[in-house]
Structure 1
Amino acid sequence: MQEKLFIIALFCYLISSVKYFLYLAFRRKLLFIVANSSVAAGFVVHTAGLVMRSIQTGQGPYTSGYEYTLFFSWAIILVYLIVEIRYRIQDFGSFVVPMGFLLLVYSLTLPSETVAANPAIKLSLTLHRTLSFLGYSAFALAFGAGIMYLLQERQLKSKKFGPLFYRLPSLEVIDDINHKLVAFGFPVFSIGFITGSMLALKGKGSFFSWQLSTLPLMVTWIIYGGLFTGRIAVGLRRKKAAVWAIIGFLSVMATYFLHVY
């Protein structure tokens, strides 16, 4: 049953992604309404599927590549919906919802077997992975904002103002959204990172494991730590912040794929 729910959510996200792109191109209010309704419906169904998965396994959906990816997709849509409700940036969905859709597509290609978590660390593991993926999701949206910023800046510098220029937010608004997403994502991710390090200390006797799968995690933390503190300390903002957000998300995806495989 849960697999059917994930497939329904997949089609909702597909419809939403297409409608957001059409709205960006043609500016028809009905397209935006359908896009928003579809992503919200998909999120509800996706949530129901994750709840069913957790009930079935007796643990949070965080113990296999299949479950990581399901949750990552869900978290991106969650953070997007919060940002959409708070800031009403109607074109943001064109840059974000497709990421949630593609991750959900990818999750359905992975083996769906359950991996039992150690009961002694189940709660800490759930906290670690929940916070880590919520942080990743905020970084995914910051990546989308970074792409939007570079597109707008390119049009301004070239003085060739296409239709996209008048439909995307101003550079100031995009930069502010980028900052707020990183300001949320970095502390949340840091707590998840510290929790994971404590689990490593408990399980392996070392606070940090110098393995291939953990090195990108440290790189990701350094990149976003630099972006978070750099804005405050040295005024790292605008184009530089957008580029850092894009590079940081590439590191996030490297970390994700190394953990999945």
Structure 2
Amino acid sequence: MVEMKWLYEFIVFIYCLSLIGYFIDFIQTNRKVNRVAFWLLSTVWGLQTLFLLSQMLWHSEFPIADLYDGLYFYTWILVTFSLIINRLFRVDFFIFFTNVFAFFLMILHIFTTAYSDGTEQSMRLVSDLLVTHITLAIISYGFFTLSYVFSVMYLLQYRLLKEKKWNKRLLRLGDLGQLDTLAYIVIVLGTPLLLIANILGVIWGYTSTDEFYMIDVKTLGSFTVLVIYLIYLALRVVKGYQGRVMAVFNMFAFLFLLVNYFLFGSLSNFHF
């Protein structure tokens, strides 16, 4: 079970990196990142395939005997088909959206299998995934905080330029275009981490024995934060908004993030 635990965790880690890569390519159309994401996803497929073959060889059965094993095979099918279709037709967005759903099924399989097993090692696996959920959420909040700082610097620089206050502080704040770009880039990095963290959190909530409420102020707040930053990216990428308007939007987004973290966290039934 220890070996299986590490295999699961390694697959999830590689899968996360692949989804982050596809998300970045989805937002910025970066072919190098797309290729890296493709090979990471191919690695996930290879590890999943080895697991399936080992189950067939060691247990002399195809691992679809119950719902839990079926979820794993379902995930393997989605990864396999998405890789083949992407390779044949180069539909990059298809592989990204398909594997967001496949990743959800993969995590659901891990949690449900662990709780049905009931062993100490299985429960530790679930605990590790919960820690991963919290860690990824906090890291994403760190990225959003950096973006907020860049936006504040942008607005300060913008105001100094508008008022024609030329001084050394103006030079040390940085270029407006650079600050705007950096604020955008760190949001691109933080958003997929928050998406993955939310997926892990919801699956843990529904499969654990601990108290969990989907209609909870912190849970809803976390998804609202994700939606707000997705709106930011949509306005930036689809509508082409830049500069001051996006800096102001980013500041309000971060303020809601703080409300969610501190106020909603204290009002939640189970979050800290």
1:190 to 190, 195, 202: 195
1:174 to 160, 168, 179: 179
* Map 1:26-105 → 2, pairs under 5 A: none
2:254 is aligned with 1:249 = yes
2:226 to 214, 221, 224: 221
Structure 1 Cα separation of the partners of residues 164 and 125 of structure 2: 60
TM-score (norm 2): 0.49
Q: Deviations over 1:83-137 (max 9, x none)?
A: xxxxxxxxxxxxxxxxxxxxxxxxxxxxxxxxxxx64620220111111111000
Map of 2:157 onto structure 1: 152
**Offset at residue 214 of structure 1 (A):** 2.0
1:124 to 117, 120, 129: 129
**Offset at residue 182 of structure 1 (A):** 0.5
1:211 to 216, 227, 232: 216
Q: Unmatched 5+ residue regions in structure 2?
A: 1-122, 267-271
**Offset at residue 201 of structure 1 (A):** 2.6
Q: Unmatched 5+ residue regions in structure 1?
A: 1-117
RMSD: 2.4
TM-score (norm 1): 0.50
Contact conserved, 1:138 with 1:181, CA < 8 A, in 2? Answer: yes
Number of matched pairs? 144
Which has the greater radius of gyration? 2
**Offset at residue 229 of structure 1 (A):** 2.4
**Offset at residue 191 of structure 1 (A):** 0.8
* Map 1:10-21 → 2, pairs under 5 A: none
Identity of aligned residues (%): 27
Map of 1:233 onto structure 2: 238
Change (3 A) 1:256 1:145: same
Question: Hey, which bits of structure 1, 4+ residues long, moved more than 4 A?
Answer: 204-208
**Partner AA of 2:134 in structure 1:** R
Contact conserved, 1:153 with 1:171, CA < 8 A, in 2? Answer: yes
